[in-house]
Chains A and B, each alone.
Chain A
Amino acid sequence: MTEHVKQRRVPARVTYLGWMSSDRPARAVYVALILLVALGWVLFEVDGGRFLGLENIVGIQQRSAALGIVAVGQTVAILAGSLDLSVAYLISLSSLVAAEIMAGGDAGVLPAVAAVLAVSAAVGLVNGLVITGLKVHPFIATLGVALIIRGALDWRYDGPAGSVPASFQHLGYDRIGPLPVSALLWAAVAVAAWFLLSRTRLGHRIYAVGGDAEVARLSGVRTGRVVIIAHVLCSVCAGIAGLLLASRLGAGAPTVGTDGGYDLESIAAVVLGGTALAGGRGGVAGTVGGVLLLAVLDSVFNQLEINSFAKDVVRGVVLVAALAIYARGRRTK
């Protein structure tokens, strides 16, 4: 749908920045990713490490899988013109639900996965209903739901709880050849979201609602329903990330989501991938690039043994600089 609109638009002049960012913002993030990988490779050679070695590549994939899954969900919410600040607490909640139901036994795995998916879908439904039904701004609605989940967590738990059977830990640690199972799970979620967004009617409606809700409504789209579905999908992704983290930790933990900063970090990864925060423009491919970019940056920092506080500074600069470049690209058209 958006493709058609773009094909008719003739660029007045093609600039380098325009080529990088205007038409397909995802392209810019992959160019940056390739440059960063090259830089990382050089730095590792100088430093005596192996950047493209199996160990490091597996490490990058494993570190980025959980954030990647959350960010794919966040992409769907942002494309629909919304955003979700409740994912961090929902991840903690999911890890606890999973570990408590499994209770160390293999028999509990399937019920636990089902329960996590049901709980997270319910949270997404609440988010969506509050935003569309009560007409609360998504920022406040999801912040409020985040506080509610946090209250429930503080009330019931003061430390790690439950335990995950060894069979379920395969999800977090095993790998098939060079590919960790967790990265495959991330890839599956990303491909599913890509298919949904670019090949189905619902996906087109998500873009339409995010682009202009009023126009979408006048064209006969039930905008409320679309926003609710986007939030359910976003929350289910957070639930899957919670399962993954539970399998890594071997237990559920009430702080696993907030310690990772998954709420703001996932939004950062999405916009780094060229998706517009206002909705309606962007896609999953850019988000995957954004998450990989953050993970490669992390790996380079680790190799250089840079202080973790400096990482935050560089991340902040990268984020703002990337968005400034996208904004320039759009203006040159």
Chain B
Amino acid sequence: MRRTLPIFIVLAVLLVAIAAVNPYFLEPPAFLAFVKRAAPLVILAAGQYFVIVSGEFDLSVGSLVTAEVVIAARLIDGSAEATWPVLGLMLVLGLLAGLVNGVVTTLLRVPSFITTLGMLLILSGAVFLWTGGAPRGALSAQFRELGRGSLGPVPWSVLILVVAGAVAIWVMRSDFGHTLVAAGDNDRAAALSGVRVARVRTVAFMISGLAAAVAAILLGGFAGVSAQVGVGLEFQAITAVVLGGVALGGGRGSVVAAMAGAFTLEALFTLLNLYGISGALEPAVQGVIIIAAVALGAVSLPRRRAAAS
């Protein structure tokens, strides 16, 4: 709790600051629109949290999102009947990419930084090889409904986010969640007390892949097909998780705080836009704030060695 509190204070301050400039922001329609915009990143951050708390990295999620959207557009090609099978296929692909990441990292003992970097290269290369350089095809209206449309006043993506968040919290409270944290904190000790570290970490990678697939479904609907849709998302997700006070190297932090970190990042983007610091200086401000936030969170804690070993 001591570690999760700061991010909620920061998030509250940012939301109040946005509301001060734009009084309508805290009213339901505008706020739901904000949550809808944040949903893909929050889901990605929740997935990334599982990998980071188990002591690893997943750099492949950004290219996985791009690959999923491009593949979906090519397979659906505007037809309504293909929508649901392709949605299922996307989830399976996400799980599969996570499985490969996990198996290569745990059984072949390749540092996850390199495994997922390799996966990034392979995915982005393979997808564009297949489509010949530019995304082709189109998503169907049914597909885009998930990212754009709403059920009554509540957008679908907000509902999906609530379900994903609830599942993530439930998983972390289950036995699996405890073994995951134990594996991240000290994998030898966990292994000696009977945790199957390799299996637990592989499942964490599969959850991250699944989260990337869900984020791809939402982003594809929200933003449409483009080869740029997932660019930089892996770093944003890792940043969000770290902003939430989760230690790189594993074993510490909560999934709720990681998701709050993603909301904070999105609120920060919104605020910078409101103050007209869009485009050019935005990355610089973002960089300063990330370093400052992590520095403030880290001062009282003992330093951990780099995760990749």
Given A148-B284, A327-B109, A331-B109, answer yes or no on A320-B291 (Cβ-Cβ < 8 Å): no
B283 in complex: contacting residue of A151, A278, A319, A328, CB < 8 Å: A151
User: A271-288: which residues lie under 8 A (CB-CB) from chain B?
Assistant: 271, 276-279
Contact B287 A315, beta carbon cutoff 8 Å: no
Report the separation of the CA atoms of residues A230 and B56 in the bound assembly, to the nearest whole angstrom: 24
* Stretch of A10-18, A117-125, A130-138, A241-249 at the chain-chain interface: A130-138
Interface 1/0 per residue, B295-309 and A, CB below 8 Å: 100110101111011
Could you say which of A148, A213, A278 contacts B309, with CB atoms under 8 Å apart?
A278
Q: How far is the CA of A312 from the CA of B120 in the complex (A)?
A: 9
A82 proximal to B (CB < 8 A): yes
In the complex, are the beta carbons of A134 and B125 less than 8 A apart?
Answer: no
A154 touches B280 (CB 8 A): yes
Which residues 148-177 in A have Cβ within 8 Å of B in the complex? 148, 150-152, 154-155
For A138, list chain B residues within 8 Å (CB): 306
Contact A135 B303 (CB under 8 A): yes
A140 with B122: in contact, given A277-B308, A320-B115, A323-B111 (CB under 8 Å)? no
By DSSP majority rule, is chain B's interface helix, strand, loop, or mixed? helix
Task: Give B106 Cβ to nearest chain A Cβ, in Å.
Answer: 11
**B192 is an interface residue with CB less than 8 A from chain A:** no
On whether A324 and B287 interact (CB within 8 A), knowing A213-B305, A279-B306, A309-B133, the answer reads no
Contact present for B291 and A136 (CB under 8 Å): yes
Docked-complex contact B113 and A277, CB < 8 angstroms: yes
> Would you call B294 an interface residue if the criterion is a C-beta within 8 Å of the partner chain's C-beta atoms?
yes
Partner-contacting stretch, out of B200-208, B218-226, B235-243? B235-243
**Which of chain B's residues have a CB closer than 8 A to the CB of A81?**
305-306
Query: Number of A-B pairs whose CB atoms are under 8 Å?
Result: 162
Most buried by B among A138, A151, A264, A307: A151
Residues of chain A with a CB closer than 8 A to B294's CB: 134, 136-137, 140-141, 144
Asked if A311 meets B125 with Cβ closer than 8 Å, knowing A130-B291, A136-B298, A268-B114, the reply is: yes
A147 on the B face (CB < 8 A) = yes
Residues of B within 8 A of A136 (CB): 291, 294-295, 298
Contact of A139 among B133, B248, B279 (CB under 8 A): B248
Of listed B113, B120, B133, B283, residue having the most chain A CB within 10 A: B283
Interface size class, chain B = 35 or more
Contact call A135/B295, Cβ cutoff below 8 A: yes
CB distance A152 to B284 under 8 Å? yes
Contacts of A88 in B (CB 8 A): none
Interface residue? A146 (CB, 8 A): yes
Is A317 part of the binding interface, using a Cβ–Cβ cutoff of 8 Å?
yes
1/0 contact string of B99-137 vs chain A (CB within 8 Å) = 000001000111101110111111011101100010000
Cβ of A111 within 8 Å of any chain B Cβ, yes or no, is no
- Kindly state whether residue A313 has any CB partner on chain B within 8 Å: yes
- A130 CB contact (under 8 Å) in B108, B248, B295, B308: B295
Q: Given contacts A136-B298, A323-B114, A327-B110, list 16 more A-B pairs with CB under 8 A.
A: A83-B306, A134-B291, A134-B295, A135-B295, A135-B301, A136-B295, A137-B304, A140-B291, A143-B287, A264-B120, A277-B306, A310-B129, A313-B122, A314-B125, A324-B109, A328-B109
Name 9 interchain pairs, CB-CB below 8 A, sorted by A: A130-B291, A143-B290, A144-B287, A148-B288, A151-B287, A155-B284, A309-B128, A312-B122, A320-B110
